[in-house]
């Protein structure tokens, strides 16, 4: 399950959290299933790590209703991975030779015979087929039927303060199916707490930023506030707009015309069209042409209370407005999920791939890697690989809690950003100066100290870590080939001698203290709902910004799809097309002053004044060369045109 981060409205970008999957498929050929006995093929990763003997609370009652998805491996799973790799590699003769969805399905998807055989097996075990898609067969039935089908007893296990169902051994499928089954999801039900409210709630309560502000970095210096290491600091910007971001990242005259950007989140803002149009008009972005902004939505929504549905409206608003601000000529299609659960988010991604709804997909949601399970990881990676074959690139936020130690007590990365088949987008603090000039960037990492009671000092400066760009070394995903020779061994081999995937790949503006202004319909204290604007950040901002930049790059590429971009992104490493972002670009302490409303919308309950130090990302550091905060760096002028095919 994924739910919005509670801190999002306070200035960190809206990201989502939920238990996913472990990276069952790396950037290469998927491993074959090992057999427990000659008649069965085990479905690796279907028994979660928390289902231990000491946590076992006994057998699940036989009559318990089970809903599961049996994911289909297709005709040629190894061939799919190999083709996805080749078609994405600029050094390969197959580079850019994408397939249509129909061609991809015919070549790598499940055959009619495979679907029939899997269906027959499931029905013979007593399960009922509820849906058949190109990727999976959905079933329901009681626990006894599920146990018969998957060769594993279901038990209840203690996990924290709750008890959840899971297989007592790794699930399996009949060997006679000849590898037609990739995996099965739904046999364990952690952490599902489903509700059944199908109507979307009204917008969240209003959030506003207090001033004073800077209009660009350094334009308004806080002369009456205490100095920081001998120097006065500027107030935080009111929020950058598209004009400033386009200049910072070298958009030139490109607009992304002819490129399609998809955005996935849960639910859907009922006011997105009017909000986006109002925002574009107010800030000088090109207006939306007829059909330029569209939505693909589910028939109904579920788990709206559990997932905090209204919080996702702000995420959609940020993603749409940021992508359009950077690439005002690109078409944007919003593909909403029915809930914040994996199954529904996978369905939204699957819709994009099945009908090739877009060239570039921005995704500002995720969870910690410790919550991954390999079964769901395999399902996600399969969608990403089909996307790569079709020339679709997926971009995921790297997270907003740095190395995650402060949040979880364990150093880890976020997912699905850890997948070897997506572009993980890290975050920076961006300084845009007078005349929209690029001044510098540092890795996003914030430490906060409050103004002392007497107003003469910053109490406890530099203060405690509050948020920062996610990054680090995966514990589950092997090192992809495109990172070899670029990512230092100190990072790649931090968790194993063989090397693992390191996050992120590329970066853009994320720090809410140097953030982006958005406009959204919100609920005011008097109960009215109306449009207002506020500053926001997080890697939820960085992902759509990079998606917009990639749309500009695709336009420069002659309009031809860039597809899965990581091999090409790393091939440009070390060149001047990237800003090599470090934590000390000015060789001095970087900080801004910020004033906030205590109640989130006006001064009735008072103000809070603080200093926010920049470039302090937990244990992570932005250094010269590749790093685990900003990857290869952020796009510099020249990046977009480096994709020019001429």
**Residue 264: CB partners within 8 Å, gap ≥ 6?**
334, 335, 336, 337, 345, 348, 349, 352, 361, 362, 363, 365
Q: Looking at the domain assignment, is residue 246 inside a domain?
A: yes
The predicted pLDDT at position 31 comes to 40
Provide mean pLDDT across the span 48-55: 94
Which sign does the torsion angle of CA 468, 426, 417, 493 carry? negative
Q: For residue 240, give the 3-state DSSP assignment.
A: strand
Return d(Cα 93, Cα 90) in angstroms, integer: 8
Q: Are 504 and 470 in contact (CB under 8 A)?
A: yes
Single out the catalytic residue among 283, 324, 557, 579. Answer: 283
Q: In angstroms, rounded to a whole number, what is the distance separating the alpha carbons of residues 474 and 476?
A: 6
pLDDT at position 293 is 98
Q: Is residue 87 part of a domain?
A: no
| pLDDT on residue 38 | 75
Instruction: Report how many domains make up the chain.
Output: 1
Query: What pLDDT is recorded for position 372?
Result: 86
Is 505 inside any structural domain? yes
Q: Is 452 within a domain?
A: no
556-615: pLDDT as tens digits: 999 999 999 999 999 999 999 999 999 999 998 899 999 999 999 999 999 999 999 999
Annotated catalytic, 92? no
CA 323, CA 245: separation in Å to the nearest integer?
11
In the numeric block, the tokens 């996978």 are attached to 346
pLDDT at 16 over 70: no
Q: Smallest Cα–Cα separation from 341: which of 375, 374, 304? A: 304
Instruction: Establish if 455 belongs to a structural domain.
Output: no
pLDDT band at 226 (very low <50, low <70, confident <90, very high): very high
**540 is known as an active-site residue:** yes
Please compute the mean of the pLDDT values over residues 45-70 and round it to a whole number.
95
Going by their DSSP bridges, the two strands 393-397 and 3-4 should be labelled as unpaired
Residue recorded with tokens 């329901």: 140
Mean pLDDT of 320-338: 98
Q: What is the pLDDT averaged over residues 142-148?
A: 97
User: Is pLDDT at 154 greater than 60 in this prediction?
Assistant: yes
539-551 mean pLDDT: 98
Least confident of 111-120, 287-296, 301-310, 382-391: 301-310
Q: Distance between alpha carbon 200 and the CA centroid of its chain, in Å?
A: 23
Whether the per-residue pLDDT at 438 is higher than 90: the answer is: yes
- Find out whether 620 and 472 touch, Cβ atoms under 8 Å: yes
pLDDT value, residue 202: 76
pLDDT at 201: 74
Q: Which of 397, 429, 540, 634 is catalytic?
A: 540
CA–CA gap between residue 532 and residue 28 (Å, rounded): 47
- Tokens 């209370």 — which residue? 305
Structural domain includes residue 30: no
Element (H, E) at 282: helix 272-282
Question: What's the pTM value of the predicted model, to 2 decimals?
Answer: 0.93
Active site residue 89: no
Check pLDDT > 90 for residue 387: yes
Looking at residue 203, what is its pLDDT?
82
Q: What does the alpha-carbon distance between residue 589 and residue 591 come to, in Å, rounded to a whole number?
A: 7
pLDDT of residue 585: 95
pLDDT of residue 200: 65
DSSP β-ladder status, 360-363 and 260-266 = parallel
Q: Is pLDDT above 70 for 189?
A: yes
For residue 160, the model assigns a pLDDT of 86
- Mean pLDDT, the chain, rounded, equals 92
Q: Alpha helix (H) ranges present in 391-507?
A: 405-408, 489-492
Q: What pLDDT was estimated at residue 37? A: 67
User: 424: domain range?
Assistant: 3-20+201-438+470-573+617-643
> What pLDDT was estimated at residue 190?
81
CA dist., res. 317 & res. 520, Å (int) = 7
Q: What is the CATH number of the domain that holds 223?
A: 3.40.50.200
Instruction: Report percent pLDDT > 70 for the chain.
Output: 92
pLDDT of residue 227: 96
The answer to whether residue 486 sits within a structural domain is yes
Strands 367-368 and 414-415: antiparallel
Among the options 89, 265, 285, 401, which is catalytic? 265
Q: How far apart are CA 398 and CA 401, in angstroms?
A: 9
Lowest model confidence (mean pLDDT) among 30-44, 387-401, 625-639:
30-44
Residues 479, 499: contact at Cβ < 8 Å? yes
CA distance linking residue 524 with residue 643, whole number of Å:
46
Pairing between β-strand 65-72 and β-strand 136-142 as defined by DSSP bridges: antiparallel
Question: How many angstroms separate the CA atoms of 486 and 470, rounded?
Answer: 19
Higher pLDDT, 130 or 4: 130
Q: What is the mean predicted confidence (pLDDT) over 70-91?
A: 97
pLDDT range class, residue 26, cuts 50, 70, 90:
very low
* pLDDT confidence bin for 380, thresholds 50/70/90: very high
**Is residue 19 pLDDT above 80, yes or no?**
no
What torsion, rounded to 10 degrees, do the Cα atoms 243, 247, 252, 253 define? 0
Q: What digits encode the pLDDT tens for the residues 196-220? A: 234 567 788 999 999 999 999 999 9
Sign of dihedral through CA atoms 375, 377, 383, 389?
A: negative
Sign of torsion, CA 596 315 317 311? negative
Task: Mark 389-420 as b/e (b = at least 16 C-beta within 10 Å).
Answer: bbbbbbbbbbbbbbbbbebeeebbbbbbbbbb
* Rounded mean pLDDT, 506-525: 96
The percentage of the chain sitting over the pLDDT mark of 90, rounded to a whole number, equals 89
Residue 250 tokens, joined: 């070298």
Rounded to whole angstroms, the Cα distance separating 227 from 223 reads 8
Whether 515 is in a domain gets the answer: yes
Which structure tokens are listed for 369? 């890697």
Q: What's phi and psi for 475, nearest 5 deg?
A: -100, -10
């Amino acid at each position: 399950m994924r739910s919005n981060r509670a801190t999002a409205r306070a200035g960190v970008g809206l990201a989502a959290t939920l238990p996913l999957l472990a990276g069952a498929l790396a950037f290469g050929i998927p491993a074959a299933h090992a057999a427990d006995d000659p008649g069965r093929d085990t479905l690796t990763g279907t028994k979660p790590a928390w289902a231990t003997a000491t946590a076992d609370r006994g057998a699940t009652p036989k009559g318990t209703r089970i809903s599961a998805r049996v994911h289909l491996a297709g005709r040629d799973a190894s061939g799919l991975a190999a083709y996805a790799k080749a078609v994405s590699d600029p050094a390969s003769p197959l580079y850019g030779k994408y397939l249509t969805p129909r061609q991809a399905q015919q070549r790598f998807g499940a055959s009619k015979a495979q679907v029939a055989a899997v269906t027959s097996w499931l029905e013979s075990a007593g399960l009922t087929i509820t849906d058949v898609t190109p990727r999976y067969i959905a079933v329901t039935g009681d626990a006894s039927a599920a146990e018969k089908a998957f060769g594993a007893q279901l038990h209840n296990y203690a996990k924290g303060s709750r008890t959840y169902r899971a297989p007592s051994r790794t699930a399996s499928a009949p060997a006679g199916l000849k590898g037609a089954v990739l995996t099965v999801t739904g046999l364990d039900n952690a952490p599902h707490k489903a509700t059944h409210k199908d109507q979307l709630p009204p917008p969240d309560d209003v959030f506003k930023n207090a001033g004073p502000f800077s209009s660009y970095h350094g334009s308004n210096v806080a002369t009456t506030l205490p100095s920081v290491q001998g120097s006065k600091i500027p107030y935080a910007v009111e929020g950058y707009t598209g004009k400033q971001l386009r200049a910072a990242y070298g958009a030139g005259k490109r607009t992304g015309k002819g490129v399609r950007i998809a955005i996935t989140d849960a639910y859907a803002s009922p006011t997105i069209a009017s909000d986006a149009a109002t925002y574009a008009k107010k800030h000088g972005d090109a207006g939306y042409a007829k059909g330029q902004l569209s939505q693909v939505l589910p028939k109904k929504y579920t788990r709206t209370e559990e997932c905090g549905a209204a919080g996702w409206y702000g995420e959609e608003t940020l993603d749409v407005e940021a992508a359009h601000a950077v690439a005002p000529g690109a078409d944007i299609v919003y593909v909403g999920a029915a809930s914040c659960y994996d199954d529904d988010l996978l369905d939204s991604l699957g819709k994009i791939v099945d009908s090739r709804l877009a060239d570039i997909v921005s995704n500002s949601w995720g969870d910690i890697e410790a919550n991954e399970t390999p079964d769901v990881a395999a399902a996600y990676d399969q969608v990403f690989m089909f996307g790569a074959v079709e020339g679709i690139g997926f971009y995921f936020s790297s997270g907003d809690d740095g190395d995650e130690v402060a949040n979880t007590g364990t150093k880890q990365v976020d997912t699905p950003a850890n997948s070897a088949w997506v572009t993980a987008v890290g975050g920076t603090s961006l300084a845009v100066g007078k005349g929209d000039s690029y001044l510098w960037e540092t890795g996003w990492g914030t430490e906060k100290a409050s103004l002392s009671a007497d107003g003469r000092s910053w109490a406890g400066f530099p203060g405690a870590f509050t948020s920062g760009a996610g990054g680090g070394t995966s514990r589950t995903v092997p090192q992809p080939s495109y990172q070899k020779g670029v990512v230092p061994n100190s990072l790649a081999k931090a968790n194993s001698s063989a090397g693992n995937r390191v996050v992120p790949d590329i970066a853009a503006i994320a720090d809410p203290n140097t953030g982006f202004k958005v406009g959204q319909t919100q609920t005011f204290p008097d109960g009215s709902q109306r449009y207002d604007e506020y500053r926001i950040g997080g890697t939820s901002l960085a992902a759509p910004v990079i998606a917009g930049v990639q749309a500009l790059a695709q336009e420069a590429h002659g309009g031809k799809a860039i597809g899965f971009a990581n091999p090409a992104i790393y091939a440009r490493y070390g060149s001047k097309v990237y800003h090599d972002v470090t934590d000390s670009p000015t060789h001095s302490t970087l900080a801004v002053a910020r004033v906030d409303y205590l109640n989130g919308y006006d001064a009735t309950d008072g103000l809070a004044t603080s200093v926010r130090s920049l470039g302090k990302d937990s244990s992570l550091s932005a250094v010269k060369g590749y790093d685990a905060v900003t990857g290869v760096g952020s796009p510099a002028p020249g990046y977009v045109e480096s994709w020019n095919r001429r």
